[in-house]
Amino acid sequence: MKKLELKFTNQDGKTVNYSIDQPVEPVDTATVNAAMDEILQQNAFTSSGGDLVAKKSARIVERIVEEVEMQ
């Protein structure tokens, strides 16, 4: 399953991650940047280290899990 991870910096200078399941692909960089700007402008989220103050990065993460058969 793929996820879009949005990384922000909070008032304490720590990284705060938000994940969105099943992002639309291909990812539109301009749309992601605009959404992150809007999250900051609207002060939509907070963290234990205070409000979000800056964008840090965004990335697509894919996790593949393969079960190992036990005998």
What residues pair up with 15 in beta bridges, in sequence order? 9
Please give the pLDDT value at position 46: 86
pLDDT at 9: 97
Kindly state the tokens that stand for 71.
């005998």
60 φ/ψ angles, rounded to the nearest 5 degrees: -95, 130
* DSSP result, 33-51: HHHHHHHHHHT--EETTEE
Specify the pLDDT at position 1.
85
pLDDT of residue 59: 97
pLDDT tens for the chain, 71 residues long, are 899 999 999 999 999 999 999 999 999 999 999 999 999 999 999 899 999 999 999 999 999 989 999 98
